[in-house]
Amino acid sequence: MSITLPATAPSALPSRSRSWVVGAAWAGILVILALSFGYIDVNFSALKELPANIWHYLVLMFSNPDWSKLGEALLQTWRSVAMAWIGALLGVVLSTILGVLAANTVTPGWVCLPLRALFAIIRAVPEIIIAIIILTVTGLTPFTGALALAIGGIGTHAKWTYEAIETAPTGPAEAVKASGGTLAEMVRWGTWPIVQPELASLALYRFEINVRTSAVLGLIGVGGIGDMLTGYTQYRQWDVVGVLLIVVIVITMSIDAISGAIRHRIVASTFT
């Protein structure tokens, strides 16, 4: 008894036009890459000496660190962390409010689209540029860095907020609406309880980012560990720079570990 297998339709071959587009895209990428290497004038001979130079400065920084500056380094690091915390707090509060208004499930297009354009503009400007702009008003103070972190964080955190709201299940909000609830009540009782754990996790992640960015803001003189790093690096006091880097690495990794553990607990609690 013979068994006849059903005939299968031949698989469609990729269209030639699509293959041409992919090939043209790769060719364009290679051309841009080649032009980039030519424009920035890459010195390949200097790259050969890079490992030896890195090792030389690592020895200068960490072979005999000047621990007498540890107290000042801890104080300046705390100033950077405080700057990051205030910036995260202000930024998260503002971006959560604006992010809710930018969700297309909450507001019409004439409201959410301009807000999204504003967030995109903010994301396009680095925090250090924002700090340079506002320091003309507030001066070279840690508060300038906190404001720069707050404003810079709005662009990203507000985007996370409205994306979380738009991807949240709509059933609870529709139930509130069916019972006669207003738009504000739909957001408060139908959407917010669902997205709150995710937004709390993202807020902690924003704080982690701010801790690292605050050190960079110190390079322009707003205070913190970055300001101290700039000064001692300019004077080539590498033994002090080594202590500062050790403090930055230990504090940053500790904050990341603690924040990561809290975020893990928050995310895990949403699935239990």
> Per-residue pLDDT for the chain (272 aa), expressed as one digit of tens each?
555 555 555 555 555 556 777 888 888 888 888 777 777 776 777 777 778 888 888 888 888 888 888 888 898 888 888 888 999 999 999 998 998 888 888 888 888 899 999 999 999 988 888 888 888 888 778 888 889 899 988 988 999 998 888 887 777 777 877 877 777 777 778 778 888 888 888 888 888 888 888 888 877 777 788 888 888 888 888 888 888 889 888 988 888 888 888 877 876 765 55
CA angle 256, 120, 164 (to 5 degrees): 60
| Angstrom distance (rounded) from CA 85 to CA 139 | 20
> Could you give the domains of the chain?
66-269 (1.10.3720.10)
Residue 11 in tokens: 């698989």
